[in-house]
Chain A
Amino acid sequence: MAKISLIVNGNPVTANVDPRTLLVQFLRENLRLTGTHVGCDTSQCGACVVHLDGKAVKSCTTLAVMADGHSVTTIEGLAADGAPLHPMQEAFREHHGLQCGFCTPGMIMTAVDLVHRKGHDLSDHTIREELEGNLCRCTGYQNIVESIAAGAKAMGNSDLT
Chain B
Amino acid sequence: MYEFKYHRPATVRQAANILLKNEDAKLIAGGHTLLPVMKQRLAAPPHLVDLSHVEGLDGIEIKGRSLVIGATAKHADVAASAIVGEAIPALAELASLIGDPAVRHKGTIGGSLANNDPTADYPAAVLALGATIVTNKRKLKPEEFFQGLFTTALEPDEIITKVSFPIPKKAAYIKFRNQASRYALVGVFVAKRPSDVRVTVTGAGSEGVFRVTAFEEALKKRFSPKALDGIHVDADGLNSDLHGSAEYRAHLIGVLAKRAVEAANAKPEKELPEPDPTQPSVG
In the complex, the answer to whether B106 meets A46 with C-beta atoms within 8 Å is: no
Select one of B1, B5, B36, B52 contacting A43, CB under 8 A. Answer: B36
In the complex, the answer to whether A42 meets B36 with C-beta atoms within 8 Å is: yes
In the complex, the answer to whether A61 meets B36 with C-beta atoms within 8 Å is: yes
In the complex, the answer to whether A110 meets B36 with C-beta atoms within 8 Å is: no
Nearest CB of B to A76, in Å: 18
Select one of B6, B76, B105, B106 contacting A65, CB under 8 A. Answer: B6
Select one of A57, A63, A66, A69 contacting B105, CB under 8 A. Answer: A57
Give A55 to B4 CA distance when docked, in angstroms: 27
Select one of B31, B38, B48 contacting A62, CB under 8 A. Answer: B31
Nearest CB of A to B260, in Å: 20
Within A33-91, the residues touching B (CB, 8 Å) are 41-43, 46, 49, 52, 55-58, 61-63, 65-66, 69
Contacts of B80 in A (CB 8 A): 117
A-B contact pairs, 15 of them (CB 8 A): A2-B6, A19-B4, A43-B32, A43-B35, A46-B100, A55-B105, A56-B105, A58-B102, A61-B106, A63-B28, A110-B102, A130-B101, A133-B100, A133-B101, A134-B100
Known A19-B48, A117-B101, A133-B101; further 20 A-B contacts with Cβ < 8 A: A2-B6, A19-B3, A42-B39, A43-B102, A43-B103, A46-B100, A49-B102, A56-B101, A56-B105, A57-B105, A58-B103, A61-B35, A61-B36, A61-B106, A63-B6, A65-B50, A66-B50, A69-B53, A110-B102, A113-B102
- On B, residues with C-beta under 8 Å from A are 1-6, 8, 28, 31-32, 35-36, 38-39, 48, 50, 52-53, 76, 80, 99-103, 105-106, 182
